Structure 1
Amino acid sequence: MIPVMRPWFGPEEQAAVGEVIASGWVAQGPRVAEFEREFAASVEASHGVAASSCTTALHLGLVLADVGPGDEVIVPSLSFIATANVVRYVGATPVFADIDPATGNLTAKTIDAARTPRTRAVIVVHQAGVPADIDDIRAVHNGLTLIEDAACAAGSRYRGRPVGAGSTVSAWSFHPRKLLTTGEGGMLTTDDPEWAARARRLREHGMSVSAAERHASGSTAPEEYTEVGFNYRMTDLQAAVGLVQLGRLPELIARRRALAARYQRLLAGVPGLTTVHDPAYGSSNYQSFWIALPADFPMNRNELLGFLAERGISARRGIMAAHLEPAYAGVPAAELPNTEWLTANSLILPLFHAMTEAEQDQVVEAVHAAAGI
């Protein structure tokens, strides 16, 4: 079976984990601090705060922005459900906005259609690694806090800079479906030193001094807990893997972009088929390669998934729409025609670093066969 995604690991990751185990310090410690510095530098942010997941990083971002009960936060429905869930974690109300069907992202116009006097923030997702036009959104909605959900976007670029550069706060994922993985894990990046310092306290139960800092200093003074915090820490085991993965990222992106370009070329002959592509203002890391089927395609999306599986190809449904899930029945939403069309008619094809051209040809030939060409 050709997998939809396979992480790129080597002996370097094994060696890095072994060094951490040998050190005797496996919890949040020096490797996490190093990974925070290196990752923040890679996205041109002043501060990185490692977390247990992108979900927890997004939650911290909303807490830092003082979003709470009575507030509304605009989010895309076309996103993994965690994007909406974190709004509920702080007691606020998510309001779903539509997306641009070409990018899968919110736009200034779709945000405007969902904005109300209670809107306090927007979570802008760089969906599947395709950068959203954040400058255009800032220009129109500069009175709102913009939190960037960059879960899929490590290595993507926007107007010549890394996605996340200059953002108020961005949240990143290191899940195995992402290019850079630590197994599980996430990161919050920001240019605000006070927000970074508070996020570090909050992720460790609100401790005034982290366990690693207390150990390194030899201090016996007890820590204080100035506010209610969370257990959102990353381990040094994960960070050691992350540091190696970060070094692999440029090569990984180059390979994925080459494979994506080949997909786009080989699938161009399927009438009406839409493939994900770079927007005019940036470049994608192609965290996922999605296609959208035309109305006259001989099979619907689910039938095509089964057709591919019978031929040894693991594909996935396109990006979910949270407003169609039972957990979000009755949640406020603007009109969402693009979201509903894309989630119903799209699927994600296999794309990973070690994918061979023969494997890619097998995928393309199966799509051609399904299309009757």
Structure 2
Amino acid sequence: MIPIMTPFIGEAEAQAASAVVLSGWLSQGSEVAAFEREFAAAVGSDHACAVSNCTVALHLALLAVGVGPGDEVILASHTFIACANVVLQCGAVPVFVDIDPNTFNMKPELVAAAITERTKAIMCIHQMGMPCDMEAIMPLARAHGVAVVEDAACAIGSEIRMNGQWERIGRPIGDIACFSLHPRKLLTVGDGGMMTTSNVEYDRFARLLRQHGMSVSDSVRHNSRTVILEEYPVPGYNYRLTDVQAAIGRVQLTRLDEIVARRRRLAQTYREMLADIPGVRAPSEPEWAKTNWQSYCVRLPEGADQREVMQKMLDRGVATRRGIMCAHLERAYAHHELRLPLPESERAHRGCILLPLFHQMTEDMQEQVVSSLKAALVKQPALV
């Protein structure tokens, strides 16, 4: 069986985790602090705040930029449902806009049409690692005084050209960027997240809320020569990352360049192999973006049955996933009012599949994937 993804993780990560376990300090401490510094340096950000997953990073980011009850947040429906959920958790209203079928990211012109006097933030989702068109969206946001939160869950190592200069996603371009460290992502710590920003107040806010609103961290109290009594000036959350996870993350971070380079080579091989299958459309990058190819999403021929193709490929030993979900099609959002039609989002959801892509993948594995896709698309003659 060829899986959709398998983490690139090994003995070095195991040794790093073991060292923390044997140290006696397992919770948020010096390893987390070191991981934050190294992550910030890797993406070019002033600050990085580690948290327990990307969903809570997005929650803190929205709260930090002032999203609250009655506000509106513009985002794509074509993404994991967590993005819409965190908007609701802030008491705000998700306003869905459609995507560009070429990048699977929201179209800037539709974002402009969705802005109202209640718009508090735009959530730019770098879907499957493909950078959103930030050069077009940022002027819209700034002109209307709207905050920009980047869902960079899938985009560690991706690059975008801004003002003629290439930079990594996560600097950030907007106000805050949020990353995932889930096993489906390029870097993993089991599960975890990171929030990056250039705004020191946003960083302080996130650090305060991630640990119950506690005024002094555990490590500061532990290392102090005098008694410190903590205070709780605001209600907070338990959104912490452990030192065990951070130690794994620090090793993973040293592999980033290697992982991105490898995935880009694998994506190019896929593109060449898929060229011979009629009607199948391979993904491509706009000239201003360099994706990390966190997921490899192909568009099936018109009329192909997505589920049937996936089942036939599974029968041949190849795991796939459906096209990216649409929040507005889930029962949880059945009563949510749509202001704009979302035809491209729905078309991508129903007409695309994700092919396996992981660091350890061989060319033989890719050939098996492509041959199984080709066989799955062959129509059997009807029985007379």
Q: Which has the larger displacement, 138-147 or 172-181?
A: 138-147
Q: Which residue of 1 aligns with 2:40?
A: 40
Spell out, residue by residue over 1:185-240, the C-alpha distance to the aligned partner (whole angstroms, 9 max, x if none): 00100001111112101100011111112112234120111111100000000000
Q: Which residue of 2 aligns with 1:121?
A: 121
Local SS of the residue matching 1:124 = strand
Q: Which residue of 2 aligns with 1:306?
A: 311
Q: CA deviation at 1:139?
A: 1.4
Q: Which residue of 1 aligns with 2:332?
A: 327
Q: CA deviation at 1:272?
A: 2.5
CA separation in 2, counterparts of 1:101 and 1:113?
A: 18
Local SS of the residue matching 2:247 = helix
Taking the TM superposition and a 5 Å limit, the aligned residue runs for 1:336-351 are: 336-351=342-357
**Does the 8 A contact of 2:171 with 2:196 survive in 1?**
no
2:61 aligned with 1:61, yes or no?
yes
Q: Among 285, 290, 298, which residue is 1:283 paired with?
A: 290
Q: Which residue of 2 aligns with 1:238?
A: 245
**Does the 8 A contact of 1:153 with 1:163 survive in 2?**
yes
**Does the 8 A contact of 1:130 with 1:279 survive in 2?**
no
Spell out, residue by residue over 1:161-203, the C-alpha distance to the aligned partner (whole angstroms, 9 max, x if none): 0012243100000000000000010010000111111210110
Q: Among 147, 150, 158, which residue is 2:160 paired with?
A: 158
Aligned residues: 371
Structure 1-normalised TM-score? 0.97
**Does the 8 A contact of 1:73 with 1:121 survive in 2?**
yes
Q: Which residue of 2 aligns with 1:91?
A: 91
Local SS of the residue matching 1:274 = coil
Q: Which residue of 1 aligns with 2:190?
A: 183
Q: Which residue of 2 aligns with 1:225?
A: 232
Structure 2-normalised TM-score? 0.95
Q: Which residue of 2 aligns with 1:293?
A: 300
Consecutive unaligned residues in structure 1, runs of 5 or more = none
> What is the identity percentage for the equivalent residue pairs of Structure 1 and Structure 2?
49
CA separation in 1, counterparts of 2:302 and 2:79?
A: 23
Amino acid at match of 2:74: I
Amino acid at match of 1:241: I
Local SS of the residue matching 2:50 = strand
Q: Which residue of 1 aligns with 2:24?
A: 24
**Does the 8 A contact of 1:94 with 1:332 survive in 2?**
no
**Does the 8 A contact of 2:66 with 2:120 survive in 1?**
no
Q: Which residue of 1 aligns with 2:78?
A: 78
Q: CA deviation at 1:6?
A: 0.2
Consecutive unaligned residues in structure 2, runs of 5 or more = 380-384
Q: Which residue of 2 aligns with 1:100?
A: 100
Amino acid at match of 2:235: V
2:220 aligned with 1:213, yes or no?
yes
Q: CA deviation at 1:85?
A: 0.4
**Does the 8 A contact of 2:7 with 2:186 survive in 1?**
yes
Local SS of the residue matching 2:262 = helix
Quote the RMSD (CA, aligned, Å).
1.2
CA separation in 2, counterparts of 1:330 and 1:138?
A: 31
Amino acid at match of 1:40: A
Local SS of the residue matching 2:255 = helix
CA separation in 1, counterparts of 2:50 and 2:358?
A: 25
Taking the TM superposition and a 5 Å limit, the aligned residue runs for 1:349-368 are: 349-368=355-374
Local SS of the residue matching 2:214 = coil
Any runs of at least 4 consecutive aligned residues in structure 1 with deviations exceeding 6 A, and if so which?
A: none
CA separation in 2, counterparts of 1:274 and 1:212?
A: 52
Q: Which has the larger displacement, 143-152 or 323-332?
A: 323-332
2:199 aligned with 1:172, yes or no?
no
Q: CA deviation at 1:294?
A: 2.3
Q: CA deviation at 1:332?
A: 3.2
**Does the 8 A contact of 2:172 with 2:196 survive in 1?**
no
